[in-house]
Structure 1
């Protein structure tokens, strides 16, 4: 029996953030959401409900492209909801896909499905009178949006890895189990959205607590050698360890995170700390212990400093680790060897097991919509009508048509070609990613999704001019510093500062294990391209054989590596 002495209370003195009051007074996430739904005077939610609906998987947004026009007309903002589905491991059936395709077409303002790098999909532009129906449609097809936002464990990522199907299948099952185990236990979701009757039993949250977690919490399972889930972007990551092509356990890493606030030196990006190795059967106990430790020790007075990464740096990794061991009744073993050599998705056809195939479709920015000469949404729907395997949403915003039998491959290939779903995409474009940003994200400071395609074209021209057009540089663009596109794990990271202006970060690596550092601040696109032109010219002329751009910027002294983020991220 492991019975390490508890290190003592780790409460932070000070006035609690108002978010703590909202949670405490919410009656386990109910608030007055149900009453607000029947209020036809506004298209949005009022007061605390604006925050509480996030626990149910929704954000209230408005179209910022028309905000000024509506203000001039003395009209309220056109409120609509963004809903994010809970989809651990990113696997969805073709039948489920067709249902969400229909809803996007008929009941959203934009008609699109947005794949996110949290390995799920989002609807944008759901008007208030359609909110309840989307929850009920999801329920009817076996899905929900519970706990995909706010202060809970969010959608659990798992390497897509269709080639290593046996290992992936086992890892995927654990991702589902973790997701289910850490879900809120309140019946608020079922009562409000599914019209299920209230029961007399009193709600309780044995894992999350009555005021839930201090801040959002992200979990991932990654299967080496491909770091396709960006493990260092997560509070809690499990690195799959296999033996004889069978999953035997996990290395546990805790405290990764990327969100920052411009100019706030109390915030920083951080890679995760290695805690140790555990056998398979202890993963649920350890996951629960990590979440409970963060629940009890996290900062509830300052949400900017409340993530797990800050808790670990405040108390020390060894103290946090010892508390997890005490709560899980386990002793971490030494880290098992693992190595990452790639990051991203293999676009096109790959051979799986049992004589099946997988077709990975590149979806720029994850936006599934019918474009001129490329009707992506219609093409995928047609494939869904004939496919009997599954669809896998990747953490890089792409879509895998998985488990295709040999007899079905030619027909799916023909459909993909006829809808122009298979194209000659450059390596640079495949390795570039952006968050949604304008017009729907209320936090956006600069463009991202709408900016990326043209910017990649400009970058490709620069690379071709310096004879490295066959290469790629991991590029991420985010419209604000909250980290949704994981720009702070990129070789080139652009973080929005103001309309048309970004901070430029350099020095990450291709496999996503190094934080980049700020190189230039608040510069416009022409300045960004001019600087990249000079840097890429230098890289092409001076690099070692096969040396990546990010590694070169460190070796050549162009940028200093971030060694200890809490001290030198901002220096």
Structure 2
């Protein structure tokens, strides 16, 4: 490590991306955040501090619906913060849920939003309320540390630790990985929770990250076949569990996945990870650390668009990367084990775990938990459920939730509350397999609508499906407002990526199990063209598909779209 860090210190900052100087000179992520937070003349923080807040789990945003009006009135943008929690494995107690519900109504916009990283995020938190908001989260034994920024993000795993012994073991490993790869800086606790600063050695503050941190964000997922709900190949590291007779034997290890790209820049592309070996459960923590440190030392710090692990592997090769990891570990990986995935979706309704207790999978459209004008009262209903519930609540990476560990004599009571608050409605298989990022009005990167648009687009696609005789069929549909890929659109059988207001790139050919990238089919099209393109394809699929054939496989077999065999071939 010493040689690499010395090399970084010897490179002129003029040769690196500006964020590299910012990280090094930030005093371990403190910057001038204390002063920015104290400045009551503005609802925002300084430009540099805006970058540093990400490491602490929140982003400065403004309401883009009001941006032009406020500019006309010579007012600064209506700044607020998106606050994202770190919840490894996505499990919450009823008490924690009530605390998070409370601050949604006190300090945010009366909603809890489940993200595609198996956690919650809040929107609309004003600077004047930010510290109080974070302190309630801390009192609930949770935090937002490293939910964003150039660090290891929230570690995700196949949902519901209470489903089986193996699920619980994998959940525990997700927590252990998260704890091991957490930044050690106390800046979050000092600035936002009021902790006194204690002097200490520099390297002791960040023994893994050092003051340079990572070149870019880093993501880890653990999957339990046959469920690929986490889209295990879309992350910097993927661990695919292997079990026999209810016993966890180990994990096939994958490296180099990532979703983001930039429109018009073919050197950027999504990539699925490569399976490089096998490790035992007791090796998982050190394997995750070694892979992250290879990326820390060799990732691109000049060009942030080229800084993810996927590009380090594309530049150096999979074998080189694996050998570097094994050199750090001091041993070689075992041979990967066979695995099989059935889908990347969730389970819904009642089902039993291995312990005999019941679990209820609840569909949450686009992850938004609120009380809606149509009579669906998700926020109020969940508040009442957790007040009587003795188990946990599990969040999924498909933006849904599971009420876990329900005893036989509690089922009727919980089901009555679900009915009372109209929390579960009969939705199509197509809608259940859909997912969107937030986009407008809060995301500064959004080029087009996503969350606010997807429900009406699904309405139209449902009509086309019904006319084609596909009313009961599931097709994975995902949409994002920009090409960064937060809802993992490049894995969808039908993917939409925002290009401009009302216009999207249409991608086809992902797999139903999340094991193949899709490919661009039509560029920069509006809704009318979307429906004109998809309606005949759906009819063709209904008439000509093989038994059990999924839509993504069908369009490739029929030559509608070319198969994407690797990320580097995504634009071919």
TM bin (shorter chain): over 0.9
Counterparts of 2:111 and 2:236 in 1: how far apart (Å)? 30
2:376/2:423 contact within 8 Å kept: yes
Please, which of 443, 446, 450 is the counterpart of residue 445 of structure 2? 443
Which residue pairs with 1:229 in the alignment? 230
Matches within 5 A, 1:25-424: 25-108=25-108, 110-161=109-160, 164-204=163-203, 205-372=206-373, 373-424=375-426
Please, which of 503, 508, 511 is the counterpart of residue 509 of structure 1? 511
Counterparts of 2:119 and 2:35 in 1: how far apart (Å)? 29
Q: Gaps (5+ residues) in structure 1?
A: 1-5
Counterparts of 2:345 and 2:536 in 1: how far apart (Å)? 27
Counterparts of 2:286 and 2:245 in 1: how far apart (Å)? 26
Which residue pairs with 1:554 in the alignment? 556
Q: By how many angstroms is 1:570 displaced? A: 1.1
Counterparts of 1:56 and 1:18 in 2: how far apart (Å)? 19
Counterparts of 1:497 and 1:173 in 2: how far apart (Å)? 40
1:348/1:422 contact within 8 Å kept: no
1:12/1:299 contact within 8 Å kept: no
Which residue pairs with 1:465 in the alignment? 467
1:228/1:345 contact within 8 Å kept: yes
Q: By how many angstroms is 1:12 displaced? A: 10
Question: Structure 1 residues 395, 361: closer, same or farther in 2, change over 3 A?
Answer: same
Which residue pairs with 1:3 in the alignment? none
2:164/2:355 contact within 8 Å kept: no
Q: What does the per-residue CA deviation read over 1:218-247, in whole Å, with 9 as the maximum and x for residues that have no partner?
A: 001100001000112210011111121111
Q: What does the per-residue CA deviation read over 1:138-186, in whole Å, with 9 as the maximum and x for residues that have no partner?
A: 1111000000101000000010156742111000000000000000011
1:208/1:291 contact within 8 Å kept: no
| TM-score, with length taken from structure 1 | 0.97
SS in 2 for 1:138: helix
Moved more, 526-535 or 155-164: 155-164
Counterparts of 2:181 and 2:161 in 1: how far apart (Å)? 26
SS in 1 for 2:360: strand
Q: What does the per-residue CA deviation read over 1:352-397, in whole Å, with 9 as the maximum and x for residues that have no partner?
A: 1322100111100000110121111000000011111000000000
Question: Structure 1 residues 465, 162: closer, same or farther in 2, change over 3 A?
Answer: farther
SS in 1 for 2:169: helix
Question: Structure 1 residues 67, 162: closer, same or farther in 2, change over 3 A?
Answer: same
Counterparts of 1:469 and 1:415 in 2: how far apart (Å)? 29
1:90/1:393 contact within 8 Å kept: yes
- Give the ranges of 4+ consecutive aligned residues of structure 1 lying more than 2 Å apart after TM superposition: 9-14, 161-164
Counterparts of 2:325 and 2:554 in 1: how far apart (Å)? 39
Question: Structure 1 residues 261, 422: closer, same or farther in 2, change over 3 A?
Answer: same
Q: By how many angstroms is 1:134 displaced? A: 1.3
Question: Structure 1 residues 161, 385: closer, same or farther in 2, change over 3 A?
Answer: closer
1:162/1:352 contact within 8 Å kept: no
| TM-score, with length taken from structure 2 | 0.96
Counterparts of 1:47 and 1:367 in 2: how far apart (Å)? 29
Which residue pairs with 1:524 in the alignment? 526
Q: What root-mean-square deviation, in Å, do the aligned CA atoms of Structure 1 and Structure 2 show?
A: 1.5
Q: What does the per-residue CA deviation read over 1:255-274, in whole Å, with 9 as the maximum and x for residues that have no partner?
A: 01110000111101111011
SS in 2 for 1:210: coil
Q: Kindly tell me the number of residue pairs found equivalent between the two proteins.
A: 562
Counterparts of 1:183 and 1:106 in 2: how far apart (Å)? 29
2:367/2:400 contact within 8 Å kept: yes
Q: By how many angstroms is 1:537 displaced? A: 1.4
Q: By how many angstroms is 1:425 displaced? A: 1.5
Question: Structure 1 residues 162, 189: closer, same or farther in 2, change over 3 A?
Answer: closer
Q: By how many angstroms is 1:544 displaced? A: 1.1
Matches within 5 A, 1:456-495: 456-495=458-497
Q: What does the per-residue CA deviation read over 1:178-209, in whole Å, with 9 as the maximum and x for residues that have no partner?
A: 00000001111111111111111124322122
Counterparts of 1:494 and 1:370 in 2: how far apart (Å)? 28
Q: What does the per-residue CA deviation read over 1:79-104, in whole Å, with 9 as the maximum and x for residues that have no partner?
A: 00000000000001110110111111
Q: What does the per-residue CA deviation read over 1:532-551, in whole Å, with 9 as the maximum and x for residues that have no partner?
A: 00211111121111211100
Q: What does the per-residue CA deviation read over 1:431-480, in whole Å, with 9 as the maximum and x for residues that have no partner?
A: 00100000010000000000010100100100111111111210000000
Counterparts of 1:215 and 1:255 in 2: how far apart (Å)? 13
